[in-house]
A and B are shown apart, each in its own frame.
Chain A
Amino acid sequence: MSKKTFIGLCFVPLAILVAAFFVLPMARLVVTGASGHDGLRTYAAILLDPRYRATLINTILLATATTLATLVISTISGLFLQRHHFPGRAVLIAMLTFPLAFPGVVVGFMIILLAGRQGLIGDVTLRLLGDKQVFAYSLQGLFLGYLYFSIPRVILTIMAAVEKLDPSLEEAARALGAGPWRVVRDVVLPALAPAFIASGAIAFATAMGAFGTAFTLATDIDVLPMLIYTEFTLSANFAVAAALSVGLGLVTWAILALARSFGGNTVAAAG
């Protein structure tokens, strides 16, 4: 057997698995999206139907807020952890990255324990303010859940990027009389921009498509994955569910492709 034949054979299991259980189903999904009684216009309805459009805007706003908050939090903590060495640092890093492997459902439960009806925040606010704060099952709860999900991922990327920064640039800026805030603003943050774009894109795409957390928390939250789920299972509206899924998939894929063109490692958009 020639080497070329062998390499060809190595592709066979892959080709069968991926063609049968990914390429073909995805093609079917795209076709189904146009198979309703509105035909191709089902795709346009994502943007034109007021209810779908409101959900889409809701989801994009939530994902944007999650991304920005995660980036700010992770930059402050990531810079700190990479720049200072102190006893307990390794434990702190382990604590911040421990939830990396939590599925979205478990993250949802974590938020219930924090802000649910028997949650810690409700307990504390009841004692301090005499008013029990319960917001796990609202948009704020979902926002908190997505933060919980994104911080460990983004903090790792930012720490790796900070490690690669050239300290001589900061020294030069300081020698030229720049204060600590100016050094951060004019030297450190611009140098971290590629890491912001790469990890921000992952956070955004994850928040757009995350189903598990929303499923655990959502009693009355209007986000795209929940809309797709209810259209499919409750209304049996296959065409709309398929069209919305295709739209959602295109958005998350495009964002991650964009991030990758900035050199980011865009793995682990699960949730």
Chain B
Amino acid sequence: MKTTRDCLIFLGQLAFTLLVAAFLIVPAVLSMLAGITSNYFLGVKSGLTLQWVLQVWELYHDTIFRSFLIAFSTLAVTLAVGIPAAYALHLRNDRVSRAVEEIITLPLAIPGLAIALALLLTYGGFSDFRRSWLFILVGHAIFTLPFMVRSVMAVFAAIDVKTLDEGAASLGASPWRRFCDVIVPNARPGILAGSLMVVTLSLGEFNLTWMLHTPLTKTLPVGLADSYASMRLEVASAYTLVFFIMIIPLLTAMQVFAGYRGAASGPKR
């Protein structure tokens, strides 16, 4: 009784899973193809071209540079704020620190639209700030900070930071030196994982950015939305292709790193 029925169930599930994978992958492949096809309506037989990619570069290269600027500035802010915070939260581990942790993870649970509105209502009147890319940076920093803090705290939980810290203290190292020479080097895997996450999220962030941007501070995802609404399909696709090329290395690094870390130590979540 086992074989034929099990075989049918297997094939059925395989076919279903392939269908789901097709649903996710086919449009991504279509968009990459459309970005290098002369005329998408006529299909690939109309010839391959880089003209759309070049046109995207001409029209939107400033958004690409600005997105990188904001992503790396966000990274700098989350590193400077997040690592000390993760250290202090881990060492204190009391009711106050748990409340603080709760507050800084709230931006993950609240839609970006709401946070953006809140920032606009509060700081929209400071027009120099409102008009600069720093306004977007602030939103990205609030949104990505919990990822950095959590990622670093996960490492602290796995490596018994308290004992390391106390050991260094008993040798006479000052708190600042212990932080720089013992804590930060030991937190490296968490810092790296958190950094990859922060940069990837910042490069793709749209919900906050759409509300916070001005015509002079467009980022890549804002430009994407713009091209989806007003450009021909080939240009929109070429722009999406550029975005894929930017984030695929980051995604791959994240997966490789997660696999490596999972195999090596497997810190608890």
Q: Which residue of A lies closest to B251 (CB)?
A: A101
Q: Which residues of A contact B107 (CB under 8 A)?
A: 22
Is B113 a contact of A109 with CB atoms below 8 Å? no
Is A25 a contact of B122 with CB atoms below 8 Å? yes
> Which residues of A (14-67) have their CB < 8 Å from a CB of B?
14, 17-18, 21-26, 28-29, 32
Q: A77-B20, A101-B247 are in contact. Are A228 and B117 (CB under 8 A)?
A: yes
Is B104 a contact of A18 with CB atoms below 8 Å? yes
Check: B156 CB closer than 8 A to any chain A CB: no
Q: Which residues of B contact A147 (CB under 8 A)?
A: 23
Q: Which residues of B contact A84 (CB under 8 A)?
A: 10, 13
Check: B31 CB closer than 8 A to any chain A CB: yes
Is A3 a contact of B169 with CB atoms below 8 Å? yes
Q: Which residues of B contact A180 (CB under 8 A)?
A: 5-6, 9
Compute how far the CA of A2 lies from the CA of B17 in the bound complex, rounded to whole angstroms.
Answer: 58
For A148, give its contact among B24, B77, B211 (CB under 8 Å): B24
For B27, give its contact among A1, A2, A120 (CB under 8 Å): A120
Check: A142 CB closer than 8 A to any chain B CB: no
Compute how far the CA of A152 lies from the CA of B40 in the bound complex, rounded to whole angstroms.
Answer: 28
Q: Which residues of A contact B204 (CB under 8 A)?
A: 101-103, 106
Pick the most buried of A10, A216, A242, A266: most chain B CB atoms within 10 A of its CB.
Answer: A10
For A253, give its contact among B77, B84, B110, B138 (CB under 8 Å): B110
| Stretch of A92-100, A126-134, A164-172, A186-194 at the chain-chain interface | A92-100
Check: B59 CB closer than 8 A to any chain A CB: no
Is A100 a contact of B251 with CB atoms below 8 Å? yes
Pick the most buried of A98, A106, A152: most chain B CB atoms within 10 A of its CB.
Answer: A106
Q: Which residue of B lies closest to A144 (CB)?
A: B23
Is A216 a contact of B225 with CB atoms below 8 Å? yes
Check: A196 CB closer than 8 A to any chain B CB: no
Query: Using an 8 Å CB-CB cutoff, how does the interface string of B107-121 with A read, 1 for contact, 0 for none?
Result: 111111111011101
Q: How many residues of B contact A (CB 8 A)?
A: 87
Compute how far the CA of A265 lies from the CA of B141 in the bound complex, rounded to whole angstroms.
Answer: 21
Check: B26 CB closer than 8 A to any chain A CB: yes
Is A10 a contact of B88 with CB atoms below 8 Å? yes
Q: A1-B175, A211-B206 are in contact. Are A22 and B115 (CB under 8 A)?
A: yes
Check: B240 CB closer than 8 A to any chain A CB: yes
Q: Which residues of B contact A18 (CB under 8 A)?
A: 103-104, 142, 145
Compute how far the CA of A32 lies from the CA of B120 in the bound complex, rounded to whole angstroms.
Answer: 12
Pick the most buried of A5, A21, A232, A238: most chain B CB atoms within 10 A of its CB.
Answer: A21
Q: A13-B80, A110-B27 are in contact. Are A216 and B228 (CB under 8 A)?
A: yes
Check: B217 CB closer than 8 A to any chain A CB: no
Q: A180-B5, A228-B117 are in contact. Are A17 and B150 (CB under 8 A)?
A: no
Q: Which residues of B contact A141 (CB under 8 A)?
A: none
Is A22 a contact of B106 with CB atoms below 8 Å? yes
Compute how far the CA of A113 lies from the CA of B240 in the bound complex, rounded to whole angstroms.
Answer: 12
Check: B73 CB closer than 8 A to any chain A CB: no
Compute how far the CA of A118 lies from the CA of B228 in the bound complex, rounded to whole angstroms.
Answer: 13
Is B13 a contact of A76 with CB atoms below 8 Å? yes
Check: A158 CB closer than 8 A to any chain B CB: no
Is B115 a contact of A25 with CB atoms below 8 Å? yes
Q: A237 to chain B: closest CB distance in Å?
A: 12
Query: Using an 8 Å CB-CB cutoff, how does the interface string of B189-224 with A read, 1 for contact, 0 for none?
Result: 000000000001100111100110000000001001
Sample of 18 further A-B pairs with CB below 8 A, known A7-B87, A242-B117: A11-B85, A14-B81, A22-B106, A23-B103, A25-B123, A76-B17, A80-B16, A92-B21, A95-B21, A101-B204, A103-B205, A105-B225, A105-B228, A110-B31, A120-B26, A151-B20, A209-B110, A248-B114
- Interchain Cβ contacts under 8 Å between A and B, 6 examples: A21-B138, A22-B106, A84-B13, A106-B240, A211-B111, A253-B106
B-side residues, CB < 8 A to A, are: 5-6, 9-10, 13-14, 16-18, 20-21, 23-28, 30-31, 34, 40-41, 77, 80-82, 84-85, 87-88, 91-92, 100, 103-104, 106-115, 117-119, 121-123, 138-139, 141-143, 145-147, 150, 169, 174-176, 179, 200-201, 204-207, 210-211, 221, 224-225, 228-229, 233, 236-237, 240, 243, 247, 250-251, 269
